[in-house]
Amino acid sequence: MKKKSAFTLIELLVVVSIIAILMALLFPVLSSYMERARATNCLNNLKSLGVGITQYLSDSKGSFFAKDAAVDEKWANALYKNYVKDWKSFRSPFDKITAARPAADSPAALGKEPISYGLNQNLFDTFDGKWKASTSTLIMASAAVDTVKVSKIPIFRDDALAISSVTIGPVSVNAAQSYGTHRLRTGINVLFADSHVSDMEWNKFTENYTTKGKKQWDPFFEE
C-alpha cells in the first residue's frame, strides 16, 4: 500500500515564508500603482469641473461665483445644478468615506455633500475678462486637505461641504511639512484658469512670496 504524500510542517513554513516575502516585495509596487490611479482620477475630476466652470462663466457673461451666495448658489451647488451632473466629480479619490464625510448618496450626506476641492479665494466676485494671466492663474485644487493634522495620508476637513463656498489660498504652515494628496504628500493636482490641469509640488502650489506665486494667486497681478 502506497503512502500518501503530504507537505511536512517545515515545507509548509517555507512556502508561507516565500509568499510573505513576495507580498512584502509587491506591496510597495501595488501601493504606488493605486496611488497613481487615484491621482489620475483626481486630474479627471478637475478636468470635468473645469469644463463646468468654463460653461458657467460663458452663461454668466464672465462673472465668477459669489462668495456670499445663498446655499443653493454656492459654487459646488451652482455647478451641479446645470454643468456637472455627478457628485463623484466633486470628491477626490484620496478623500476617504468616513462617518464625518459620508458618500454623497448617503442619507447622512443629503443636502451637505462632502467636496474635496476649493476655489482660489481671490477669484470670487470677479470677472474672468479682467484676469491678467489665465495660463498661470490657479482656480481649483484639493483645498479640503486639513493642514492642521499631520498625517501620512490626506485628511480632509469635515467642514468642506457643498453648503459652504470652500476656498483655497497660500498656506502658512511649517515649510518642512507637505500636505499634498500623493507622492508622499508632496504632490497636489491643480486646475488653472485656461482649463489645463497639472500635478504640482505642494511647496510650489502654496508659495505666495515670489513673482510666480503671486501670479498664481492674484488674478490681477502685474509685474
Is 77's pLDDT higher than 70? yes
Beta bridge partners of residue 189, listed in sequence order: 199
Q: Determine contact, residues 175/150, Cβ cutoff 8 Å.
A: no
How far does Cα 83 stand from its chain's mean position? 19
**Number of domains observed in the structure of the chain:** 1
Q: What is the pLDDT of residue 153?
A: 83
Does 2 reside within a domain?
Answer: no
Domain that holds residue 185: 11-217
Q: How far apart are CA 44 and CA 58, in angstroms?
A: 21
Does 65 reside within a domain?
Answer: yes
Is 172's pLDDT higher than 60? no
Mean pLDDT of 62-70: 94
Mean pLDDT of 174-182: 76
Does 3 reside within a domain?
Answer: no
Give the tens place of pLDDT for each residue, 132-158.
888 899 999 986 677 777 778 888 888
CB-based burial label for 177 (10 Å; 0-12, 13-18, 19+): exposed
pLDDT bin (cut points 50, 70, 90) of residue 58 is very high
Q: What is the pLDDT of residue 204?
A: 87
Calculate the average pLDDT of the chain: 87
Q: What pTM does this model have?
A: 0.83
Does 222 reside within a domain?
Answer: no
Closest CA to 95 of 114, 120, 118: 114
Does 50 reside within a domain?
Answer: yes
Does 119 reside within a domain?
Answer: yes
Does 61 reside within a domain?
Answer: yes
Give the tens place of pLDDT for each residue, 27-49.
665 677 788 999 999 999 999 99
Higher pLDDT, 146 or 179: 179
